[in-house]
Amino acid sequence: MCTTELELKPHRLEYGAVSLDPWRAIDHETGDNYVDASTRRISVELQKALISAVEAGWVQSPELAKKLYDFMEISLYDAQMRRIVFNDARSDALDDMRSDQRVLRAIEGLATPSDLLEILVDYPDLGSIEMAKLTHPLDFDATRAMDADVCETAISRFGAIDPEEPRYKMKRVDAEIPAGIILRKQVIAGGDTPNGLIQVVQRRSFLVRGDDGVSLDPYLARKVKNPDRLPELIDKIDGHLLVAGGDVDSAWLQPLATSYYAKYVK
């Protein structure tokens, strides 16, 4: 039976974690350097998202679309580059692990969430590891496969999903739009391993907008711009996510990216 070139091509999950050795890894879809290819995907996803937003009526003018693009791009690039720099800083520590096929897959960006969690279990000196990551601006539904994979991995290792209270942080604000980038972190599972207690954390970033016509809340713009009103904004966001589970028809709150990572807890 013949094997096609497509079948021989290494498979990278759409939600594959950042390579453990990012500057030396090759993107198997494009043949380019991993860092170049991964940052280029951010631009592509943003462009597609804003085209859809304009068509859906969530963005009313080209000028606003450009402002939102620039604002989201800074946040997404920053998050990606922070992980790249973090992984690169400890890439030399991987030299003694390169005989492990899971580690080799993680270096090439081909590892599964299960691979990555078990790498951390077996190599505690890493301290933490990203399990999955997806850039999905303005698309709540995009993470279904990733969420299921990570949850199944966590249940397999720890027996259950046991979410803790989420924590929020405003990362940046553009008072002119007005809009903010807000980060939500939540421990979703954890338990003892041979080398210590590990927790699995979900990290989600959101675009929250307060421009005219985006919401029926007359005070939303003030909540976005005023740091003193951040607790009110967090309550509004948390309540919306809890009740709606993420309403794709709500223009004022939309996702940007989701990642999961595991860490040892002292």
- Inside any domain, residue 3: no
- Inside any domain, residue 91: yes
Domain total of the chain: 1
* Digit-coded pLDDT (tens) for 226-247: 999 999 999 999 988 887 555 4
> Comparing 125-129, 153-157, 194-198, 236-240, which segment has the lowest mean pLDDT?
236-240
Q: 80 Cβ partners below 8 Å, 6+ apart?
A: 18, 38, 39, 42, 135
- Inside any domain, residue 1: no
1 pLDDT exceeds 70?
no
- Inside any domain, residue 146: yes
* Digit-coded pLDDT (tens) for 122-133: 999 999 999 999
* Digit-coded pLDDT (tens) for 74-129: 999 999 999 999 999 999 989 889 999 999 999 988 999 999 999 999 999 999 99
Is residue 46 within 8 Å of residue 137, measured between CB atoms? Answer: yes
* Alpha-helix residue ranges (DSSP H) falling in 90-219: 101-107, 113-122, 144-158
Cα(224)–Cα(74) distance, rounded to whole angstroms?
18
Cα(20)–Cα(88) distance, rounded to whole angstroms?
7
The domain in which residue 99 lies consists of: 8-265
8 pLDDT exceeds 50?
no
- Give pTM, 2 decimals: 0.92
205 — phi, psi (to 5°)? Answer: -115, 145
